[in-house]
Amino acid sequence: MTAPANTREYQGLTIPTPGKFELDPAHTRVGFVARHLMVSKVRGGFTSASGSIVIAEDPLESQVEVNIDASSIDTGQTDRDGHLRGPDFLHVEQWPAVSFKSTRVAGLSGNEFKLIGDLTIRDVTREVELDVEFEGHAKSPWGQEVIGFSATTEIDREDFGITWNQALETGGVLVGRKVKIEIGAEAVRQG
């Protein structure tokens, strides 16, 4: 079987030829899950994210950069979203963006790999490792070349200076420290 146009084989996987892809905001979601009251989980996401993926000749040298509008945080609850935008959490007036810039790709196994990079929240940058799955390559009905990925990681929000919390009478705290990040992304070839 012949590989589709603009693809190549790499370790048994059909991947795009080198080039730059821009995230498609209509088909990209940056979500998160955090514990609440020690008994449930709150889900939310950011409605505005942009970025690029540069597929290198050597796929392990590919690069990713993403910028998220911190004020676009949405948990479906207006008061909570306002609190998350404020000084106790993201402090969007002072730090309007959350950003990620990859530093290396590792651990390739089939269509799964590790993407390591620098995540900046507020004024703190920490190295994070994302578990990424390459979902595939397609051509849209409008002639656009599209690639898809999903990724997950978990961070400790206190590592980024987000330490606000409230003790509960029954023990524990109002908001958990660990935040699971879940990303689903499509990107369109630009060149």
Render pLDDT for 126-157 as a digit per residue (tens, 0 to 9): 999 999 999 999 998 888 999 999 999 999 99
Distance between CA atoms of residues 8 and 102, nearest Å: 23
166, pLDDT greater than 90:
no
Determine the residue type at 72. Answer: S
**Res 102: pLDDT:** 98
Distance between CA atoms of residues 166 and 143, nearest Å: 52
Q: For the chain, how big is the Rg over CA atoms in Å? A: 18
**Res 76: pLDDT:** 95
Render pLDDT for 18-58 as a digit per residue (tens, 0 to 9): 999 999 999 999 999 988 766 678 999 999 999 999 999 99
The domain made up of 7-189 is a member of CATH 3.40.190.10? no
Is 186 in contact with 145 (CB distance < 8 Å)? no
Give the range among 12-16, 34-38, 53-57, 63-67 with minimum mean pLDDT.
Answer: 34-38
Render pLDDT for 82-128 as a digit per residue (tens, 0 to 9): 999 999 999 999 999 999 999 999 988 989 999 999 999 999 999 99
